[in-house]
């Protein structure tokens, strides 16, 4: 009986790093120790830079809403929830790629989960930004929050495109081989 039959190859959706090679059954013991805990290449990739820009714009939007006086409680509570949830999920995906957790947690399809997160999160963020812009009543903090919400929406759309492009290209080339 061969012990190498349980090997599952995973790919990174927007990491842009070198995570696509096949590994042997002892790759977790030998290769993981020599490569280190943190991926030194990932923070310089387009996917990582997009995630950092998204996190910064979402954090600024959240701070702008928290520091202003609200005229519409429900609209800005929704905006707060959407921005902070997106911020946390983007941080989780950033840490998954930075610490190469996609290699350890192979039971999760990381490209698909990231794509679904960005599709749903972008739609909710767009709705929240439109509602926040319509209820801002020319208060500068709320206008700034909605502008940063729209900026984060645009950056999330870029990540959707990047995740979808890489996921489909990876799957189609794997299917052709």
pLDDT value at position 124? Answer: 97
CA distances from 115 to 104, 120, 125, 163 (A): 20, 9, 15, 6
Question: Residue 171 domain-assigned?
Answer: yes
The pLDDT assigned to 73 comes to 85
Place of tokens 């012990």: 3
In angstroms, the CA 171 to CA 157 distance is: 21
Query: Can you give the residue range of the structural domain that contains 125?
Result: 40-91+108-175
In angstroms, rounded to a whole number, what is the distance separating the alpha carbons of residues 163 and 152?
Answer: 16
Residue 56 lies in a domain: yes
The answer to whether residue 28 sits within a structural domain is no
Token digits of residue 98: 């930075």
What letter would DSSP give residue 99?
T
For the chain, first and last CA: distance in Å?
26
Residue 7, domain member (yes or no) = no
Reduce the DSSP state of residue 25 to 3 states and report it: coil
Note whether residue 117 is domain-resident: yes
- pLDDT value, residue 176: 56
pLDDT value, residue 95: 96
For the chain, residues with pLDDT lower than 50 are 1-10, 12-13, 15-34
- What confidence score (pLDDT) does residue 175 get? 56
| Domain-embedded: residue 27 | no
Please check whether residue 155 lies inside any domain of the structure: yes
Q: Is residue 50 part of a domain?
A: yes
Domain tally for the chain? 1
């Amino acid at each position: 009986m061969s012990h190498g039959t349980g090997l599952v190859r995973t790919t990174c959706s927007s990491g842009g790093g070198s995570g696509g090679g096949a590994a042997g059954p002892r790759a977790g013991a030998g290769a993981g120790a020599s490569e280190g805990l943190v991926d030194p290449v990932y923070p310089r990739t387009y996917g990582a830079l997009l995630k950092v820009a998204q996190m910064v714009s979402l954090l600024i939007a959240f701070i702008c809403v928290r520091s202003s006086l609200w005229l519409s409680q429900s609209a800005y509570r929704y905006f707060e929830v959407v921005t902070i949830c997106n911020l946390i999920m983007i941080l989780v995906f950033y840490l998954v790629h930075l610490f190469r957790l996609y290699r350890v947690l192979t039971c999760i399809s990381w490209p698909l989960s990231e794509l679904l997160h960005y599709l749903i999160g972008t739609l909710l963020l767009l709705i929240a930004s439109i509602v926040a812009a319509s209820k801002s009543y020319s208060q500068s903090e709320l206008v700034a929050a909605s502008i940063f919400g729209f900026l984060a929406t645009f950056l999330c759309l870029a990540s959707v495109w990047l995740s979808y492009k890489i996921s489909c290209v990876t799957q189609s080339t794997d299917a052709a081989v």
